[in-house]
């Protein structure tokens, strides 16, 4: 006779520790029940995780549960539906066993969520729910035997719900579980409820105990100790679990032999049998039936995986063994204590690990179900989104033909991407362009603006006529600008969108907004180094909500792009920067939706979409020569016929991410500089000190630096507010672009580097001007030849010209630490783009703490009734101008000295007064002659008085500050000589 069939003769039932749909549908389970004496089934989250994720057996049911294109049900509902279907069917297969044994056997076990192991009431509620849902008398609900599980076990058993108590490792916890069973039965008796309608088993775990105790025993086996410990740990390997189980069974016997139990048994109560669980052998050196043969006896169950079942059927020995070796069992447990192994700590660790070992597969299963649920939900949306994409293509062709210009083919290639984003994936509100609690879209390939305008129009976000494209007064401009309220940052100068997206994602993180930021790039623009600066930053800062989508259409303006349709090139590049990547067919809507769903799981993620330029129109698709060209009307009609009518108009329902909790901004108290007159402090240091002070009262202040924080002194802010400081490293384009993204997201960003390096980012600065940010402060340190020995590569000499050229910009240039702090304070409060120029050398403090520095103002530092000339200076040259004043005064020549700290806007009134009252103006500046302060003053005075400019006009060299100021004619002596020459 099969050894398995003999077990029942010795009072033991064998159950199987596995359940899959295939076991049910193939007849395997029923065969085991009828022919092999199987009398029960146990399951757990790990078993279902393998069954559901490892096969396609559940896919049809999942697809049916998703249904009709509506949002997915909660994955827990899907999980319950799947497992309760299997459990119910298994219960029906085992029902004859249940009936034949009068409820002794024939049970199937279903576990509550492992996340509830330490929650009593939640365990009770879910157990009730599952018991009602399965609706079979031969169902066991599995509850972990944790301290929180004990009252749940008692209450459920009292209510008549059968309970399999799992994760028992110690005799003490088993006895507590047995006590809960007794109390439940006594409560039922007192309530007049039948006792023979409730059943329970106590699942005592085995192999996991040996895995841990063997590890601890091996720690005590070493050749480095000459005297062997007593007992010898080698002799105890692989014995702890069986010893523990045998002692637990002795407790079980004492309970069922007690008068208390007999009184309940007389009323029909069923024995709470001992169930041996975790019976697969983990150590291959041990017998594969070591957790079966020694534990055979009355009132026991052994639940085994298939491998153990097959092994025992093949060579297992059956006899009553449960009460053999009790002295050895006690010796083993005593030996562990002698060796310093606290078995109480062992079992506590195993209980915690046991819960976690069920949580991990349970969570993995939930994630897998969410994936499958989304997959089928996506599938139902494909047809509609394909039609939406066709409508967008029709709009693109029509509007560009009407405009007579534009980039239709570049828009057609990404129509499917935009349709999937705006009409399915993105959570946004088409009624509120200013919303922050939404996902954000940045069109980095700005020449594809028509597809953006088409999506906004189709979704109901914009009601402006598409035929107004590129017309004066329309917000549908040739490339996106914030003239249209849905555009956060101006794009079109390629390679800039991803850096701005970085800033938006950072702002989301700082404000706790779980929004995603989608940035659509072209493959051609990925030749821009700025893209990879931004990619590096996103990865280093773990911007998990950032998704870059590269439209790899293979064609540029003049011919094929460098890598054509080789999406793997772009994937490898993004991967090298630490991004997750997904390569897809960018015209396969289902693949797009799947990729967008996968991108939700953390990133940053780059979706590399292979597309065709001009997609949807046969004579445009993949054809070179159409970049930036609109179709004539005849070609348009032909294209529209090919695209066909869809009759689709898909509105977008608002989807938001919840309320943003932001406290009202408190008034920023005035700074207190606290310097001594004459104290030498660099303006760059005053700037850094001011930022640190402002950080306390301005929670939206964010500082970025280009790997020079110990020179710009932004390190002061970084040390105190590390969560609001971001290191951009030597990547100035990303530095400015990220700051812009922060600025348009409600932050007050200050980005600092050397003034000369900002020239590298000038196109970003130029485009930031077109983006019109509420607040964006850029600080250029180490300006001018005054930096000294580092030489011309480090000298910012064109920065004033750069920033003066921006419409609406403000340019500030402090000369001492007090003015540096005050102007920094003003800069963060001033609307628009503000440039703050600081210098390397320390300069003496000339202003008092109470001095005020209004934007557009200046300071007349020296003046008299008989001033012959006016010297206008700013920054480092103010001090030489003052020194020249003192020297000239000794010669009887009076000059007026003005600190033009506000380079833009200038204090024109003060300058005009000086022009009226003195014979001429001398402007001295540490900047190239063209475009700086001198040009600004000359333009403001409009030839009403001679304006003489002292500025850098020849190639700088290395040298000391004093040598260089002298060499370039902007020193004290040069000012004196100029005044004397003019006089």
Catalytic positions, written as ranges? 142
Q: Kindly report the backbone phi and psi dihedral angles of residue 277, in degrees, each rounded to the nearest multiple of 5, phi listed first.
A: -120, 170
385, 583, 595 from 598: Cα distances, Å: 19, 12, 5
Q: Kindly report the backbone phi and psi dihedral angles of residue 676, in degrees, each rounded to the nearest multiple of 5, phi listed first.
A: -90, 140
CA of residue 157 relative to chain centroid, distance: 45
Closest CA to 616 of 418, 357, 823: 418
Q: How is residue 662 written in tokens?
A: 């932001």
The answer to whether 713 and 738 are in contact (CB under 8 A) is no
Rounded to whole angstroms, how far apart are CA atoms 314 and 312?
5
Rounded to whole angstroms, how far apart are CA atoms 474 and 716?
46
**How many CA within 13 A on the CB side of residue 807?**
5
Rounded to whole angstroms, how far apart are CA atoms 12 and 780?
83
Q: How is residue 400 written in tokens?
A: 């560009």
The answer to whether 430 and 459 are in contact (CB under 8 A) is yes
3-state helix, strand, coil in the chain (%, to 5): 50, 15, 40
* Residues sharing a CB contact under 8 Å with residue 302, sequence separation 6 or more, in sequence order: 7, 12, 13, 14, 15, 275, 276, 279, 291, 292, 295, 296
Rounded to whole angstroms, how far apart are CA atoms 489 and 896?
45
DSSP string, 617-639: -TTTTT-TT-TT----HHHHHHH
Residue corresponding to tokens 């293979």: 554
**CB environment 630-656: b (16+ within 10 A), e (fewer):** bbeeebbeebbebbeeeebebebeeeb
Query: Within 10 A of 848 (CB to CB), how many other CB atoms are there?
Result: 10
The answer to whether 953 and 864 are in contact (CB under 8 A) is no
Rounded to whole angstroms, how far apart are CA atoms 203 and 167?
7
Rounded to whole angstroms, how far apart are CA atoms 780 and 757?
8
The answer to whether 149 and 123 are in contact (CB under 8 A) is yes
The answer to whether 504 and 515 are in contact (CB under 8 A) is no
The answer to whether 948 and 921 are in contact (CB under 8 A) is yes
Rounded to whole angstroms, how far apart are CA atoms 916 and 720?
50
Burial of 610 (0-12, 13-18, 19+ CB in 10 A): buried
* Residues sharing a CB contact under 8 Å with residue 232, sequence separation 6 or more, in sequence order: none
H/E run at residue 909: helix 908-917
The answer to whether 754 and 516 are in contact (CB under 8 A) is no
CA-based max dimension of the chain: 128
Rounded to whole angstroms, how far apart are CA atoms 665 and 745?
15
DSSP string, 55-98: -STTHHHHHHHH-TTPPPPPHHHHHHHHHHHHHHHHHHHHHHHH
Burial of 468 (0-12, 13-18, 19+ CB in 10 A): middle
Helices (H), 423-516: 449-459, 497-510
């Amino acid at each position: 006779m099969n050894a398995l069939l003999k077990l029942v003769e010795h009072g033991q039932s064998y159950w199987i520790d596995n359940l899959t749909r295939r076991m049910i549908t193939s007849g395997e389970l029923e065969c085991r029940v009828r022919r092999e004496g199987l009398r029960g089934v146990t399951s757990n989250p790990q078993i279902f995780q393998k069954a559901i994720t490892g096969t396609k057996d559940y896919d049809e049911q999942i697809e049916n549960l998703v249904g009709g294109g509506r949002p997915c049900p909660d994955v827990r509902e899907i999980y319950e539906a799947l497992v309760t279907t299997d459990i119910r069917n298994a219960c029906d297969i085992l029902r004859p066993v249940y009936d034949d044994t009068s409820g002794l056997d024939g049970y199937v076990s279903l576990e509550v969520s492992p996340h509830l192991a330490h929650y009593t009431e939640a365990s009770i509620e879910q157990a009730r729910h599952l018991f009602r849902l399965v609706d079979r008398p031969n169902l066991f609900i599995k509850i972990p035997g944790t301290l929180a599980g004990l009252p749940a076990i008692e209450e459920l058993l009292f209510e008549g719900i059968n309970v399999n108590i799992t994760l028992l490792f110690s005799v003490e916890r088993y006895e507590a579980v047995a006590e809960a069973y007794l109390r439940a039965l006594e409560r039922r008796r007192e309530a007049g409820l039948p006792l023979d309608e409730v059943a329970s088993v106590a699942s005592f775990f085995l192999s996991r105990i040996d895995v841990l105790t063997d590890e601890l025993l091996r720690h005590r086996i070493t050749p480095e100790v000459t005297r062997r410990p007593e007992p010898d740990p080698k002799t105890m390997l692989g014995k702890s679990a069986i010893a523990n189980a045998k002692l637990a069974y002795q407790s079980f016997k004492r309970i069922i032999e007690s008068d208390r139990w007999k009184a309940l048994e007389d009323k029909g109560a069923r024995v709470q049998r001992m169930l041996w669980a975790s019976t697969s052998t983990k150590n291959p050196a041990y017998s594969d039936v070591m957790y079966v043969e020694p534990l055979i006896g009355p009132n026991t169950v052994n639940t085994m995986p298939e491998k153990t079942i097959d092994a025992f059927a093949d060579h297992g020995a059956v006899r009553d063994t449960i009460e053999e070796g009790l002295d050895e069992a006690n010796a083993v447990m005593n030996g562990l204590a002698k060796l310093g192994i606290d078995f109480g700590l062992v079992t506590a660790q195993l209980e915690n690990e046991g819960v976690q070992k069920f949580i991990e597969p349970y969570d993995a299963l939930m994630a897998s179900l969410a994936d499958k649920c989304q997959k089928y939900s996506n599938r139902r949306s494909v047809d509609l989104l394909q039609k939406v994409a066709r409508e967008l293509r029709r709009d693109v062709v029509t509007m560009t033909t009407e405009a007579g210009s534009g980039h239709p083919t570049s828009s057609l290639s990404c129509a499917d991407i935009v349709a999937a984003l705006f009409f399915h994936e993105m959570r946004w509100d088409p009624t509120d362009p200013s919303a922050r609690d939404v996902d954000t879209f940045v069109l980095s390939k700005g020449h594809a603006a028509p597809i953006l305008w088409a999506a906004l129009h189709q979704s109901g976000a914009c009601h402006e006529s598409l035929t107004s494209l590129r017309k004066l007064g329309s917000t549908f401009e040739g490339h996106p600008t914030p003239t249209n309220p849905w555009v956060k940052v101006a794009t079109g100068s390629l390679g800039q969108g991803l850096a701005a997206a970085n800033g938006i994602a950072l702002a989301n993180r700082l404000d706790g907004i779980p929004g995603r930021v989608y940035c659509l790039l072209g493959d051609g623009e990925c030749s821009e180094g700025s893209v990879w600066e931004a990619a590096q930053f996103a990865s280093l800062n773990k911007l998990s909500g950032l998704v870059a989508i590269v439209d790899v259409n293979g064609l540029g303006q003049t011919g094929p792009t460098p890598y054509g349709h080789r999406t793997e090139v772009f994937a490898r590049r993004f991967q090298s920067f630490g991004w997750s990547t997904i390569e897809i067919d960018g015209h396969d809507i289902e693949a797009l939706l799947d990729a967008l769903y996968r991108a939700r799981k953390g990133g940053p993620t780059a979706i590399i979409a292979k597309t065709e330029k001009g997609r949807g129109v046969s004579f445009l698709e993949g054809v070179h020569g159409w970049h930036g060209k609109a179709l004539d009307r005849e070609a348009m009609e032909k294209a529209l016929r090919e695209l066909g009518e869809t009759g689709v108009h898909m509105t977008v329902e608002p989807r938001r991410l919840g309320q943003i909790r932001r406290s009202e901004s408190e008034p920023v108290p005035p700074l207190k500089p606290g310097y001594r007159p004459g104290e030498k402090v660099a303006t760059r240091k005053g700037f850094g000190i001011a930022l640190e002070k402002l950080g306390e009262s301005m929670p939206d202040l964010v500082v970025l630096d280009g790997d020079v924080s110990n020179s710009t002194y932004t390190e002061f802010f970084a040390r105190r507010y590390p969560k609001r400081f971001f290191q951009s490293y030597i990547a100035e384009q990303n530095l400015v672009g990220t700051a812009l993204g922060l600025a348009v997201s409600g932050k007050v960003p200050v980005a600092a580097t050397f003034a000369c390096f900002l020239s590298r980012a000038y196109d970003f600065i130029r485009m930031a001007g077109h983006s019109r940010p509420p607040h964006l402060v850029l600080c250029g340190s180490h300006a001018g030849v005054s930096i000294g020995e580092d030489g011309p590569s480090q000298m910012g000499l064109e920065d004033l010209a750069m920033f003066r050229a921006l419409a609406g910009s403000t340019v500030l240039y402090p000369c001492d630490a007090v003015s540096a702090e005050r102007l920094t304070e003003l800069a963060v409060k001033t609307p628009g783009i503000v440039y703050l120029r600081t210098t390397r050398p320390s300069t003496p403090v000339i202003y008092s703490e109470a001095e005020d520095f209004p934007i557009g103002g200046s300071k007349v530092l020296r003046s008299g009734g008989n001033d012959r000339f006016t010297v206008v200076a700013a920054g480092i040259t103010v001090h030489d101008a003052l020194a020249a004043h003192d020297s000239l005064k000794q010669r009887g020549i009076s000059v007026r000295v003005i600190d033009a700290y506000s380079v833009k806007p200038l204090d024109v009134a003060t300058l005009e007064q000086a022009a009226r009252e003195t014979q001429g103006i001398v402007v001295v500046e540490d900047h190239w002659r063209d475009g700086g302060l001198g040009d600004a003053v000359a333009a403001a005075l409009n030839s009403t008085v001679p304006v003489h400019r002292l500025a850098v006009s020849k190639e700088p060299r290395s040298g000391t500050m004093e040598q260089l100021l002298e060499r370039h004619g902007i020193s004290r002596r040069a000012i004196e000589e100029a005044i004397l020459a003019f006089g």
